[in-house]
Structure 1
Amino acid sequence: MRKIVIIVFLFHHLIGYSQLHDNISIGRTEKIYSRILNEERTLWIYTPEGVENRSNSHDNFPVIYLLDGDYNFHATTGILEFLSKNQLCPYMIVVGILNTNRNRDFLPTHNPSIEGSGGAKKFTEFLDKELIPFIDSIYPTAQYRMLIGHSLSGVFVINTLINSPDIFNSYVAIDPSLWWDNNVLLNQMRKVSKTANLSGKVLYITSASLKRGLDSLQVLSDTTNITSGVRTNFEFYKILDSTRESTYLESKFHYYPNETHPSLPLISVYDGFQYIFDFYKRPSFANIADTSFHAKEILLKHYDRVSDKLGYKVYPPDELIDGIVFLYRLNNMEEQAKEILKLKQLRNK
């Protein structure tokens, strides 16, 4: 017995040693020259496992356009990989956009005290006219897009929702600096909400405390500068909430009293995915041994709803089908297992 244990230990040790010489890759780099911005931009790209380009994939995937890409790429792709492998959100492509000039690209208006500010309109045009077509030409993309930004790039997220809502389907704005230019985006939202139709759009907006432990009542009753940015975010969401019936925007605001501005992105992306893709979560198969439980019907109905929400046809993933087959066989229900296995053929029709 001792020899077996030693052999097993050595085997795993040797495997571990050999793997130390292999690189673990979570993405690749692309470059695009923008005529609109008159500069080259660097992109960090994450794709689902086994997907490299349009030619080697039978499926299409939603795309996340991630601002401040170099800062947020590792956290976002890690969260996405975990949630998607557990069927809590779709498998998606991530396009991390590295910065050259944050003030220029993300701020919608010019302030003389902030050099280069006010170029958000051009950056939006770059995304819409150059970057998105570029990504669509290389990768197997679906026509569902998400925009994520933090702080100044969170301002850009909100500005895009207000002024160019047709480009993206969902938005995550993490502690956006909505105090910018005397709350210019709050004023724009008040005007736009009277006529805008944001049906089908989803916004998840978060805010952190500049001083840990302040609850929302303490923040809203405070009048000092330390809470002014947070109070502006609360005020913005108050506008969204009061105009929900006219804009049809689906939105949620989350204040995190124990997070700070730098710590907020990680939990915001995680919670944002959970909120935006709540409809995606797989149904329960706990009653699969019950002969009146029709797993195939439940599965097809669920993915029809998912397809309707995402705007393209989505099929049950093979790993979920395999899991249901395993449960059926565990309960000696071979006929039902064979019937579920047939679902793998759907995407090939």
Structure 2
Amino acid sequence: MKTKTFKQLMLIIIMALCYHQSNAQVANKIELTEDNQLLGLGTQHIIKSNILNKERPIIISLPIGYKDSNTNYPVLYVLDGLQNIKHTVGTVELLTESGLIPPLIVVGLESLDRTKDLTPSNAGQNVHGSAGNVGIPQSGGAPKFLEFLSEELIPFVDANYRTHPYRILEGHSLGGLFSVYTLMERKDLFDAFIVEAPALWWNKEEMTEKAKSFFKSNESLNKTVYFGIGGGDGWGMRQELLRYVDTIKENPPKNFRWLHEEVGDEGHMVSRLILNYNGLKFLFSDLKISDGLVNNFSDGTFLKEEQRLKNKYGDNARRSAEDYFSLVSVLVENENDSGAITVLKRASEAYPMYVGLLTYLAKLYEKNSQKAKAIDTYLLGVEVSRKYKLGQEDDLLQEVGRLRKTN
């Protein structure tokens, strides 16, 4: 087969792959209740907390395919969970489907008294937003709330679900304040944080004062943190966040991966959706194939990197289909068909419903005189097409017939 003809064929397969990626979305069903209410956001649980001396409602959303696997999943803990569960679950499912993040268990913590639970200290007079006469009597409950997370909630989730050790805490506004507090107070508890428009004005920016000594005393800090805020956010937020991240710049710990960004002209509340999206993408940006892996490719290095990501984020961690395909294209261009086959085998394992990947793999097998493997791959594509109703069975069977007729 001439190289030019093969590359033209691969261009057609790229287009087919994109088509089948869109078709693949219809395979994920959302359950209905008996009265036709659509489920999908999660299940509410009531935890009796001895630490807080009250019952605490939480919402747990499991990733698609959880019931049909034995895999362990990283957990995303979302503060103000009832307020944020809808857009968070939708974003997580979209990014998971696209291979930009691994599947996650999402735990939403419903707020009962957020001014109490999410504030690290008691607020006195002249607190932001008040008339200035008195403080907020119930504020300063974050230490107990953090104890509830570490001693009761996380053990409950770990005991009842298949959790991977990788944990994320996400919070907005006072939730962002609590997230920053948790990072510095219990740095062992979470691996990553999404800090959205944090209320760092609290008690004269006491968290920023604490940060000065925290980052100076932690020479190494193996954490990933996203600090995001809308460009239209007002007093008490943007400049205060800038002053906090300045303390990181002054004493940046080793192994500390972080990003601060201002997004568009979004205001305080509406920014949550895009900050959640950007934050998740940043936390898992190491899923993207690096230039070093492309430029110094070997089968062993590639497979070792794939396993490293699985160890870090769970066995269902994968790169985007586009990333795998881009790497394959480079390898084919460099006449490294063996490497391209290795990548395509991994990609078709990661995206079992994408017939385009199997078609590409079969063509590469045929190009490299591995007819039996090409036939087996086409037949696997027939099974996938039939299972997901993709309508490609006849086309693939024609390829099988053609190969069987050749010597």
Q: Could you state the TM-score of these two structures normalised by the residue count of structure 2?
A: 0.66
| Alignment coverage as a number of residue pairs | 297
2:304 to 273, 298, 301: 301
Task: Give the deviation of 1:147 after TM superposition.
Answer: 0.3
Q: Which runs of 5+ in 1 are unaligned?
A: 1-17, 212-225, 288-292, 342-349
Task: Give the deviation of 1:107 after TM superposition.
Answer: 0.3
Alignment of 1:98-247 (within 5 A): 98-112=110-124, 113-197=135-219, 199-210=221-232, 226-244=234-252, 246=253
Q: Distance in 1 between matches of 2:169 and 2:374?
A: 41
Task: Give the deviation of 1:325 after TM superposition.
Answer: 2.4
Contact 2:59 2:107 in 1 (8 A): yes
Q: Distance in 2 between matches of 1:315 and 1:338?
A: 26
| Letter of the 2:52 counterpart | L
Contact 2:309 2:317 in 1 (8 A): no
Task: Give the deviation of 1:200 after TM superposition.
Answer: 2.0
Q: Distance in 1 between matches of 2:154 and 2:241?
A: 29
1:96 is matched with 108
Alignment of 1:13-32 (within 5 A): 22-26=36-40, 27-32=42-47
Contact 2:100 2:287 in 1 (8 A): yes
Q: Secondary structure at the match of 1:240?
A: helix
Per mean C-alpha deviation after superposition, the further-off stretch among 159-168 and 19-28 is: 19-28
Contact 1:45 1:95 in 2 (8 A): yes
| Letter of the 1:135 counterpart | V
Q: Secondary structure at the match of 1:194?
A: helix
Give me the CA root mean square deviation: 3.0
Give yes or no for the alignment of 1:71 onto 2:83. yes
| Letter of the 2:114 counterpart | R
Q: Distance in 2 between matches of 1:116 and 1:271?
A: 33
Deviations 1:203-233 (A, max 9, x none): 101122446xxxxxxxxxxxxxx54531111
| Letter of the 2:360 counterpart | L
Alignment of 1:271-282 (within 5 A): 271-281=278-288
| Letter of the 1:103 counterpart | T
Q: Distance in 2 between matches of 1:87 and 1:298?
A: 20
Contact 2:167 2:192 in 1 (8 A): yes
Question: In structure 2, do the counterparts of structure 1 residues 22 and 328 end up closer, same or farther at CA, with 3 Å as the change threshold?
Answer: farther
1:260 is matched with 267
Contact 2:230 2:268 in 1 (8 A): yes
Deviations 1:222-262 (A, max 9, x none): xxxx5453111111111112211x35421100112411001
Contact 2:226 2:283 in 1 (8 A): yes
Task: Give the deviation of 1:331 after TM superposition.
Answer: 5.0
Q: Secondary structure at the match of 1:206?
A: strand
Contact 2:212 2:247 in 1 (8 A): yes
| Letter of the 1:207 counterpart | I
Contact 1:65 1:94 in 2 (8 A): yes
Overall identity of the aligned pairs, in %: 29
Q: Distance in 2 between matches of 1:127 and 1:143?
A: 15
Task: Give the deviation of 1:136 after TM superposition.
Answer: 0.7
2:330 is matched with none
Give yes or no for the alignment of 1:328 onto 2:361. yes
| Letter of the 1:252 counterpart | L
1:345 is matched with none
Give yes or no for the alignment of 1:43 onto 2:76. no
Structure of greater Rg: 2
Q: Distance in 2 between matches of 1:314 and 1:239?
A: 36
Deviations 1:14-73 (A, max 9, x none): xxxx99964321111111110000010111111112325xxx631000000000001110
Contact 2:166 2:312 in 1 (8 A): no
Q: Secondary structure at the match of 1:193?
A: helix
Contact 2:200 2:236 in 1 (8 A): no
Q: Distance in 1 between matches of 2:351 and 2:95?
A: 14
Q: Distance in 2 between matches of 1:63 and 1:100?
A: 22
Q: Which runs of 5+ in 2 are unaligned?
A: 1-31, 125-134, 319-346, 381-407
2:401 is matched with none
Contact 1:87 1:281 in 2 (8 A): no
Question: In structure 2, do the counterparts of structure 1 residues 92 and 197 end up closer, same or farther at CA, with 3 Å as the change threshold?
Answer: farther
Per mean C-alpha deviation after superposition, the further-off stretch among 86-95 and 301-310 is: 301-310
Q: Distance in 2 between matches of 1:123 and 1:153?
A: 12
Task: Give the deviation of 1:313 after TM superposition.
Answer: 5.3
